[in-house]
Amino acid sequence: MHRIVILLLILTLTACGQKSGQRSVQETINNANYFLGLAKTSEQPKKSEYLLKAGTILAQKAQYLKAQETFSFLNPEYLSDTDKESYYLYYGLSLLNLSQNDTALKFFKRITQPQQHSIDWQITYRNALSQAYLNDGNYYEAAKIRIELEDLLLTEQQITDNHQFIWDALSQISEEFLKLYQTDFSDPIINGWLDIAYLTRKNANQPEQLLHALNLWKQRYPLHPANVQMPEELQQVANAKLYKPQQIALLLPLSGRLAAGGRMIRDGFLAAHYNADQASKTIIKVYDTAQNLSPLTTYQQAVDDGADFIVGPLTKEAVEKIAAQESLAVPQLSLNRADNSPIMHKELYQFGLPIEDEAQQIAKLAIAKNHQTAIVLAPINEQGERTVESFNHLFTELGGQIAEVQRYDNPQEIKLIVKRLLNIDLSETRSRTLEQITGKPLEYVQRRRQDADMVFLSASSNDARRIKPFLDYYFAHDLPVYSVSRLNSGSQNRQLNNDLNDITFTDSPILVSESAEMQQLRQQLSEVLPNINSSFGRLFALGYDAYTLLPELNILQAFKQHKRQGLSGKLSVTPQGRIERTLSIARFEKGAVNEVIAADTETKKVTQ
């Protein structure tokens, strides 16, 4: 018995030793430094073989800079044909992740026999090659490679990720080219992907037709990979709800201090309603929120009256009170945003004309135009603070710098504030100091600061007419000036607006778009609504767009990349239900407003 125990102990210790030894060997094999050490003491061809192994390990561990350096010492002429392809793959993979896409693509294209390698190797190769094509703007080739990769994938997560990549790539291709790529000679799987991308793009503005087209596609391709396991966005679209309310409650202030704005939104909403095909099938009931102390009273009255969709209320405080409820009785599109609501409701959509969106759009535009350092001028009020905060946050997040922020309270002090903003006051102080030191009057030239390359201005049109001439007078005439829509009062007085020349700003298409359709609409509206060209025109656009968006809110929410052209801007819906606007970019030139970037302008490449 004693001998058996000893024997078992010996066997256990031996097994442990073997496992430990095996683990030690495996760790050595996976250690790039081990092969780098061997390479230092070896001659060719072993030297290049060891460098290949070290570089491959580093690339697989995402240490791309070290991998690139290792591969740079390798001479591929000493490698076998199979090893050369591994060299091209992992050197290219490292370059791809170091933002050297063109060079990486050249390496990948040298690989001619990927099928001779392991399954994992082939997956890595096709993933990297497709990403390089995507970065290069060749979206069709990127998608095609991933479609062909499908047969090699084993896990559900791999297939899910692959389908998402294919869908994202195809979503970049224009409707025209999606149709062009579909041929009788193409693989039916490829044609199926192209077909579903085409029909979603073609019917994007027609939600009812889109859902019908998706159902027909499912019938045509019952066993297609995208039908068996749809990309997340496509699945959300297919399952999206098309809102067809029978009775809409419109909650607006129609009396009191906000009455004028409330009535303009109402007019826009009703104009869209009577212009719609389903006008006779839908009842619109308008409620004056100013008649009740609590917005919840008006809300509950609308629900009790049978509303199956609510639009409004208008003020942020009212929206936040309604959003704070544990549940909502019916779907709702608010006309402002609830910034402080702790509850997220699935069918609460939030629209509005937030100045923050405009400030952020200017920040993106400034960075796109290679501005690096901004000086900022704004009034001391709540809206000015929100505008400046939004611009500064995104501008710095995108790599810009804020050199200085100046705020004014009284328009009479604008001259002094502009001098401070441009450091003219420091120039004057230096001159006085030198005169005191020398005891003699000096001739000097005022100089503005040289560290800024743009001005961001949050000001009304009246204040801006004072500010811009002072900017020009104090030598900042060459600094680009950017602002937001409150700069544009809608005045057609060119002589008055000459002081705003060269200021670039955001605004709703209803006020500044130069498209023939929008100009005709403005002309027609101005005959019945004379103040359509003022700030009230933006509220009319808000009401109009609220009505036209309503049926397809759920579908737009599923379409992450899709935007719908409206009177208030190009509109999209976030996963959280917020409607975001891309506005037109306009500039004052010779006292008149000229649109320089249309709200529906696409900046990304969509033709490949």
Taking residues 541-566, what's their average pLDDT?
A: 90
Distance CA 279, CA 244 (A): 11
Question: Distance from first CA to last CA of the chain, Å, rounded?
Answer: 80
5 pLDDT higher than 70: no
Average pLDDT for the chain: 89
Distance CA 427, CA 420 (A): 10
Nearest 5°: the CA angle 253, 258, 261 is 90
Distance CA 456, CA 481 (A): 6
Cβ proximity of 128 and 96 under 8 Å = yes
Dihedral class, residue 339 (left if φ above 0, else alpha if ψ from -120 to 50, else beta): alpha
- Dmax (CA) for the chain in angstroms is 114
268 pLDDT higher than 70: yes
Taking residues 19-25, what's their average pLDDT?
A: 44
pLDDT tens-digit readout, 329-379: 999 999 999 876 656 799 999 999 999 999 999 999 999 999 999 999 999
Cβ proximity of 310 and 322 under 8 Å = no
107 pLDDT higher than 60: yes
Q: What is the pLDDT of residue 470?
A: 96
Distance CA 71, CA 52 (A): 7
Higher-pLDDT residue of 405, 599: 405
6 pLDDT higher than 70: no
pLDDT tens-digit readout, 201-248: 888 777 778 888 999 999 999 999 999 998 888 888 888 888 999 999
Cis peptide before 530 (omega within 30 of 0): no
Q: What is the pLDDT of residue 479?
A: 97
180 pLDDT higher than 90: no
Concatenated DSSP letters of 411-439:
GGGHHHHHHHHTTHHHHHHHHHHHHHHHS
Q: What is the pLDDT of residue 240?
A: 83
pLDDT tens-digit readout, 135-174: 999 999 999 999 999 999 989 999 999 999 999 999 999 9
For the chain, the residue count is: 608
> How far is residue 186 from each of residues 192, 193, 194, 202, 216, measured CA to CA in Å?
10, 11, 10, 21, 21
